[in-house]
Chains A and B, each alone.
Chain A
Amino acid sequence: MYTATKVTIIALALLTAGAVAAQAQNNASINVSAAVQQPIVVLAGNNLTFGPVFPGVPKAITLASVGAGRFDVTGQASAPVSMTFVVPANLTFGANNLPIASWVGSWNGVNDPAGSGFTPSAGATAATFSGTGSLFVFVGATVTPSVSQVAGAYVGTVQMTVTY
């Protein structure tokens, strides 16, 4: 009887050991990685400037004009981007409006307006950074003052958004 009890205890111990062995814990790890490209930076390079405008005489600023607007953009070399614009329908001077329309634009990897043409007011435009991560965007338009246009300094804002 004494021997049987001892054997039973040994058997229970073995069972417990077996149960522990049957529940095994393991772990392993893997890496997570990403290569983040250069963020986009947009600067106002040049204001779109019409200079003196006479009542009843429309005035256009072409892309090659000194008064053309220009945005200077930097980002990831050779990466494609999307450009969108918010352009005003009028320049304003107090409560007075000066209509502005016939928007023209071009983009280039170098500071030269003789690049790829597009219409800023027509929605999203695809462009590509140069091999050094540069992008220059030129903007022109036409103002149409009425014959009775109130004299003054009219201003407006052109907003460009560039996204990957």
Chain B
Amino acid sequence: MRAPLTILSLVCAATLPLAGQQTSVTGVRPLSFGTVFPGVASVVSRTDPANSGQFDLKGHPGGTASLTFLLPAVMTGPAGATLPLVFGGSDGGFSASQSINNQVAFDPRTPYLATFVANRASVFLGGTADPSAGQRAGNYTGTVTLTVVFF
């Protein structure tokens, strides 16, 4: 009877650290194109400290996480007008140090497997707004969602 109890104790000790650690993703900064002129494409770099989108992640040091964006094709504006959005192959950035100046570029259109160094990291997002020459004036908005699966 003593031996099985010992095994049970060891199993619990092995599983508790993983179950006890908290993981999270938080939207920190919106992706903002600011003032845009009809017919003039507006580009926001993922390294733009004021206008790039930013998510902060909390994970496990040495752990990995799958990052999957849900990216809108357009922003919606006055009277249902739409403003096309374009995301390129290097518009996503992962920083294991949470530094906007130290990112690894990735394609936000496809899932990306990131590795944590510490327990916090950041994801940055740039993009291009491409208004037509006759784009209706007004404020346009959309939503970007990041889903993170921590392993």
The stretch among A3-11, A99-107, A142-150 that forms the contact with chain B is A3-11
Is the CB–CB distance between B140 and A40 below 8 Å? no
Shortest Cβ gap from B60 to chain A (Å): 8
Interface size class of A (residues with CB under 8 A): 20 to 34
What separation, in Å, do the CA atoms of A26 and B34 have in the docked complex?
A: 29
Is the CB–CB distance between A25 and B148 below 8 Å? yes
- In the bound complex, residues from chain B placing their C-beta under 8 Å from that of A94 are none
Complex interface residues of chain A between 20 and 41 (CB less than 8 A to chain B): 21-40
- In the bound complex, residues from chain B placing their C-beta under 8 Å from that of A30 are 27-31, 53-55, 125, 143-144, 146
Q: Determine if B113 is an interface residue (Cβ-Cβ < 8 Å).
A: no
Q: Determine if A114 is an interface residue (Cβ-Cβ < 8 Å).
A: no
- In the bound complex, residues from chain A placing their C-beta under 8 Å from that of B29 are 30
What separation, in Å, do the CA atoms of A35 and B31 have in the docked complex?
A: 12
Q: Known interface pairs A22-B151, A26-B150. Does A32 touch B5 (Cβ–Cβ under 8 Å)?
A: no
What separation, in Å, do the CA atoms of A35 and B78 have in the docked complex?
A: 11
What separation, in Å, do the CA atoms of A10 and B140 have in the docked complex?
A: 55
Complex interface residues of chain A between 67 and 90 (CB less than 8 A to chain B): 76, 79
Q: Determine if A47 is an interface residue (Cβ-Cβ < 8 Å).
A: no
Contact of A31 among B36, B38, B83, B141 (CB under 8 A): B141
Is the CB–CB distance between A28 and B26 below 8 Å? yes
Is the CB–CB distance between B11 and A34 below 8 Å? no
**Interface of chain A, helix or strand or loop or mixed?**
mixed
Interface residue count on the B side (C-beta < 8 Å): 63
Tally inter-chain residue pairs, CB-CB below 8 A: 162
- In the bound complex, residues from chain B placing their C-beta under 8 Å from that of A164 are 37-40
What separation, in Å, do the CA atoms of A4 and B25 have in the docked complex?
A: 42
- In the bound complex, residues from chain B placing their C-beta under 8 Å from that of A40 are 38-39, 133
Is the CB–CB distance between A36 and B77 below 8 Å? yes
What separation, in Å, do the CA atoms of A18 and B17 have in the docked complex?
A: 9
- In the bound complex, residues from chain B placing their C-beta under 8 Å from that of A35 are 33-36, 138-140
Q: Determine if B127 is an interface residue (Cβ-Cβ < 8 Å).
A: yes
Q: Determine if B104 is an interface residue (Cβ-Cβ < 8 Å).
A: no
What separation, in Å, do the CA atoms of A79 and B35 have in the docked complex?
A: 11
- Chain A positions within 8 Å of B, measured between CB atoms, are 3-4, 7-8, 10-11, 14-15, 17-18, 21-40, 76, 79, 163-164
Besides A30-B29, A36-B138, A40-B38, 16 other CB < 8 A contacts? A7-B7, A11-B8, A15-B14, A21-B18, A22-B19, A25-B149, A26-B24, A26-B147, A26-B148, A28-B55, A28-B145, A29-B145, A34-B129, A76-B37, A164-B37, A164-B39
